[in-house]
Structure 1
């Protein structure tokens, strides 16, 4: 269970957290409240995934549950949206690295340079994945250590430098408080993407019926503690007017604590390595999701291409698509590139989460009531409905621009599903026609007794 818990916590705490405090600072300190509400929602999702893993302890997570409950099309939508989420998330992580690279190499800021740095951050992990899983694991180990060190340091030490006068107002930017809470939570959901990690790998977890649920909840709570303390420390050490425009908030926090720039530079170096490591792992995840669906005939067969344990076509497709999206948003995005990509990621993540929560409701309502204690049924149904409502709320908070782009990506998948379904139907029809062909029966002895079929056609 410890390994599964580390997997959940490691995947949840990616590289996006290094930029998120600045992304939600414009909403005010209501963002900290949003983080708390989001944590409760994430725990409810974690509990739902744990219950689902007890019913279906198979690798694939949300994809498996949606397909089992609602059929191939729902399974495809879950897999397609999850795949979209992974490579859009990769684009967001690459953009997050840009600000910290500028801390290491100041004085070279321009849109063209930023774009080149972001593209480099995307393709270096892709090349590492092409080299095979052994190199992916080595990079991941180093990055994981360097990821936790700065976050834990600021989360703990930053509390001793906390100054409430630097927080700014509770609700910035006008509008309703609920609207600000929803908008901040939609951005912050990006920090909890990965809550499904243990469920995604349930087939490889020992005693998944017991351990997946516990690992998911413990990993989510552990990540939440680091997130909440770290974000609160940044809010309380960096003046609000500076934090809103910061491109490296954790570096700015350390500089504010100790003065000078040496601390911020060290944090920036650790952040860049951490983000590259997160990209390394998520690049592999972006290839594994379509690989699983391709084995079931729901994704093109090209995604089955493997080399040295890595689905290479999936890695290449994810890197190309993330690069194209990064270029488009750098040159046409009306707002911050990172925030736009994060909100698209949020929308894409909510689709498999909604389908998973809906699948749990379906399983509960169609299961044998005599095998479910009334108290447990009521508790599981409440958790499923809370998880569904919470995820639905996040869709509303993502904003029109993110939903617009996210829906375009989602609807594009319908054409892919139509092509794959037609191919499967044609294949089944051809096999059926071949099985239905039989040699002409002799007419001379029509009264002969029929002979039972043998071989593969029997039964």
Structure 2
């Protein structure tokens, strides 16, 4: 590539920021206020920000040194074998379409601002409309239509203008006394005597990790940079910029409304907080921008899971029909399968007490599996090449992902195991089709598959016993 024609530092930094900001930032405050005061929230942002920066730097390093790897699962496959590649790729696929379920909930809640029949985002009317949107987007992608640069520009503007308007107004209405009144103490109703800082800190982790899902896509643009140094700088500047935006958007409202009031606000919280700040037009302003932004993101994330399984089929991790393209160049089987599963989960919204948090937690838990493999391969690859600096970056990235999911969402990993059950069947069919290992699972693969099945059974049992709520 001619470096003079590559992306500049500014363009790369903007890409990191805009590709990572999704619907999650519009729901942050209420989700966080449900379990934590501003002090623990700030502490959690510090830790999560560091962990995500280490992950982004690991992805950036691997991309620059292993440019031939296609798809995030390729690092797991190259470093630890085919089964690891399958586990990583299937987890990424699960995360991609589960994220669309979260999009659906927020989209319907946003429409509910104008049409009360959709308020809350998880009633019959919401499920019907969300189902229609899901299948229409699937049809569009199946026709080979991709989001154009002009469309992405519009979507970016619709995301950023309401967000910056909210932050600016939030600074002007900020009351220091209210912000510091219960800085470390959880005062939300229903929490007897509050909860300790450690408990509050843990309650923030999954929510914060969710808003960084997609940062891996931004790192992939490093290959189009004018220089490798620009790619690394853009990653650091972009992650820090994201952290500043997320911290301000989520913490400033603590200086305007009490934690208890914030926790009770309907989702998307930013919409109703801004309405309270500036009047009725504020809610409409945020809502319109959010609706357009979600539709654009949903289109992109309709393509992403299908592309993931298509790449896995090319690597012989899934049967060839996952990668078979129609006359428009779209993987129809993967698209329809993904849409059908989204449909099933949309029906679950009718019975879920907190549909949005449930969907985002499953989405985050699934993608953490991929991120863990990235950290592991970063450590292995750097150790093999005697690159101590990059090895430590990988160690920090790996440690953060493992510790965070252990503290905040281990039970969601058990539920994700359920989603791996059909994947194990497809992986076995791929081995038979391509005659890998004589078409049989190896002893190690049998052991790992058994552990996944046990995890899935445990998840079902815990749900049945009421120990895991959905």
Q: Given the two structures, how large is their TM-score scaled by the length of structure 2?
A: 0.81
Larger Rg: 1
Partner SS, residue 57 of structure 1: coil
Q: Any gaps of 5 or more consecutive residues in structure 2?
A: 1-6, 440-470
Instruction: Say if 1:61 and 1:201, in contact at 8 Å, map to a contact too.
Output: no
Residue in 2 that maps onto 1:235: 254
Compute the displacement of 1:136 (Å): 5.3
Determine if the alignment matches structure 1 residue 421 to structure 2 residue 439.
no
Contact 2:317 2:431 in 1 (8 A): yes
C-alpha offsets along residues 160-210 of structure 1, whole Å, 9 cap, x if unaligned? 1112455574342444422321221112111001111144466x6256855
2:86 corresponds in structure 1 to 76
Whether the aligned pair in 2 keeps the contact of 1:187 and 1:398 (CA below 8 Å) is: no
Give, in whole Å, the separation in 2 of the partners of 1:312 and 1:218: 38
Hey, what's the Cα distance between the residues in 2 that align with 1:348 and 1:208? 33
**Partner in structure 2 of residue 123 of structure 1:** 135
Distance 1:15 1:306, change over 3 A: farther
Counterpart of 1:17 in structure 2 is 25
Aligned-pair CA distance for 1:390: 0.5
The alignment status of 1:185 with 2:205, answered yes or no, reads yes
Match of 1:132 among 121, 144, 151: 144
Q: Note the C-alpha offset of 1:74.
A: 1.0
Indicate conservation of the 8 Å contact 1:139/1:280, yes or no: no
Structure 2 residue 370 is matched with structure 1 residue 358: no
2:335 equivalent among 315, 325, 334: 315
Residue 327 of structure 1 pairs with residue 347 of structure 2: yes
Specify which of 95, 98, 110 is matched with residue 108 of structure 2: 98
Q: Does 1:38 align with 2:48?
A: yes
Q: Does structure 2 retain, via aligned residues, the 8 Å contact 1:59–1:200?
A: no
Cα distance in 1 for residues equivalent to 2:229 and 2:421: 37
Secondary structure at the aligned position of 1:297 is classed as: coil
Residues in 1 aligned to 2:140 and 2:377: alpha-carbon distance in whole angstroms: 36
Structure 2 partner of 1:152: 164
Give the whole-Å Cα distance in 1 for the aligned partners of 2:228 and 2:438: 35
CA distance in 2, matches of 1:108, 1:191: 24
Change (3 A) 1:127 1:220: farther
Structure 1 range deviating more: 218-227 or 354-363 = 218-227
Q: 2:420 aligns with which of 410, 418, 426?
A: 410
CA contact (8 A) 1:12 1:194 kept: yes
Per-residue CA deviation, residues 289-326 of structure 1 (Å, 9 max, x unaligned), is: 11111111112322322454543433332222122112
Partner of 2:74: 64
Partner of 1:346: 364
Provide the rounded CA distance (Å) in 2 between the counterparts of 1:134 and 1:150: 25
User: Partners in 2 of 1:127 and 1:149 — Cα distance?
Assistant: 30
CA contact (8 A) 1:251 1:263 kept: yes
Deviation of 1:98 after TM superposition, in Å, equals 2.0
SS at match of 2:215: coil
Aligned residue in 2 for 1:254: 274
Taking structure 1 as reference, are residues 223 and 306 closer, same or farther at Cα in structure 2, changes over 3 Å only? farther
* CA deviation vs aligned residue, 1:395-438 (integer Å, no higher than 9, x gap): 12333542221122234422322221222226989xxxxxxxxx
User: Which of 319, 344, 350 is matched with 1:300 structurally?
Assistant: 319
The runs of 5 or more residues in structure 1 that have no matched partner are 430-459
- Pairwise CA RMSD of aligned residues? 2.6
Contact 2:59 2:219 in 1 (8 A): yes
Aligned residue pair count: 417
User: Which residue pairs with 1:220 in the alignment?
Assistant: 239
**Would the aligned equivalents of 1:348 and 1:406 in 2 still touch at CA under 8 Å?**
yes
Asked if the contact 2:51–2:396 (Cα under 8 Å) also holds between the matched residues in 1, the reply is: yes
TM-score, normalising length: structure 1: 0.83
Alpha-carbon contact 2:138-2:336 (below 8 Å) kept: yes
Contact 1:97 1:121 in 2 (8 A): no
Aligned with 1:233: secondary structure? Answer: helix
SS at match of 1:192: coil
Please tell me whether the aligned partners of residues 380 and 391 of structure 2 are also in contact (alpha carbons under 8 angstroms): no
Q: Provide the residue aligned with 1:337 in structure 2.
A: 355
Stretch moving more, 68-77 or 223-232: 223-232
